[in-house]
């Protein structure tokens, strides 16, 4: 192998890496203005929750190891914010069609069968998260008025993440199912497993 060949391979590897990063950072090509606005708001909330969790964890650790004291309510807030972070992330993954799934089976199907399977899995996901929202609402009704130990605030502010988040994810899956149902079969061949939603 010559030096020239090595340089060409290095350039090719660099170009592939750059293209992969750009593809990962790029949003869905069919994103409407409303989609961008909804996703942008959810991303902002997710970043805000993650930044709060990170700040509290590091501040509490720093105070404990340097001043032998800590923020007594920090762990309580961090534990309470984790469900919100999880639900925001799940909602965005469904909205952006980036939810983890195995695409081997669906990629082998013909466009019409692929679209039918996507609609079925998304409707199943809609029912599953709708049921989770209902169960979470019942839990919230029973225990939402309980007070937290240190801050003495209603636990409903934190446990409502399961109810609200599951409801939003349910609607997101339903919107995906309707979108795939209305889509022409001619559009589907270009849609790979990475771009399709659902729990298939």
User: In the chain, where are the structural domains located?
Assistant: 30-195
Count of Cβ atoms closer than 10 Å to residue 154 Cβ: 14
Output the pLDDT for position 22: 57
Percent of the chain that is helix, strand, coil (3-state, to 5): 75, 0, 25
Could you give the CA distance from residue 119 to residue 185 in angstroms, rounded to a whole number? 13
Of 195, 189, 200, 169, the closest CA to residue 98 belongs to 195
Count of Cβ atoms closer than 10 Å to residue 178 Cβ: 14
CB-based contact 162:131 (threshold 8 Å): no
CB-based contact 172:96 (threshold 8 Å): no
Output the pLDDT for position 195: 42
39's tokens:
């996703």
Could you give the CA distance from residue 41 to residue 81 in angstroms, rounded to a whole number? 17
CB-based contact 85:46 (threshold 8 Å): yes
One digit per residue, the tens of pLDDT, for the chain of length 200 reads 566 666 667 777 777 776 655 554 454 546 788 888 999 999 999 999 999 999 999 999 999 889 888 888 999 999 999 999 999 999 999 988 888 777 777 778 888 888 898 899 999 999 999 999 999 999 999 998 999 888 888 989 888 999 999 999 999 999 999 988 887 654 444 444 444 444 44
Output the pLDDT for position 197: 43
Please, what is the angle between helix 74-95 and helix 156-182, to 10°?
Answer: 10
CB-based contact 173:197 (threshold 8 Å): yes
> What's this model's pTM, rounded to 2 decimal places?
0.73
For the chain, the residue count is: 200
CB-based contact 94:176 (threshold 8 Å): yes
Could you give the CA distance from residue 144 to residue 27 in angstroms, rounded to a whole number? 37
Could you give the CA distance from residue 155 to residue 81 in angstroms, rounded to a whole number? 11
Output the pLDDT for position 137: 95
């Amino acid at each position: 192998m010559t030096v020239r060949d090595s340089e060409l391979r290095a350039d090719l590897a660099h170009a592939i890496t750059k293209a992969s990063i750009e593809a990962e950072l790029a949003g869905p090509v069919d994103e409407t203005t409303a989609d961008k606005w909804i996703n942008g708001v959810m991303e902002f909330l997710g970043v805000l929750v993650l930044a709060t969790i990170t700040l509290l964890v590091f501040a509490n650790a720093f105070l404990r190891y340097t001043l032998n004291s800590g923020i007594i309510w920090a762990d309580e807030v961090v534990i309470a914010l984790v469900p919100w972070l999880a639900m925001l992330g799940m909602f965005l993954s469904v909205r952006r069609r980036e939810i983890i799934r195995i695409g081997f089976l669906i990629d082998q199907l013909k466009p019409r069968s692929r679209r039918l399977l996507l609609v079925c899995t998304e409707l199943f996901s809609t029912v599953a998260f709708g049921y989770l929202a209902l169960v979470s609402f019942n839990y919230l009704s029973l225990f939402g008025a309980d007070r937290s130990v240190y801050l003495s605030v209603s636990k409903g502010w934190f446990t409502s993440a399961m109810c609200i988040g599951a409801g939003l994810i349910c609607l997101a899956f339903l919107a995906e199912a309707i979108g795939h149902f209305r889509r022409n079969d001619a559009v589907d061949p270009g849609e790979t497993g990475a771009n399709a939603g659902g729990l298939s």
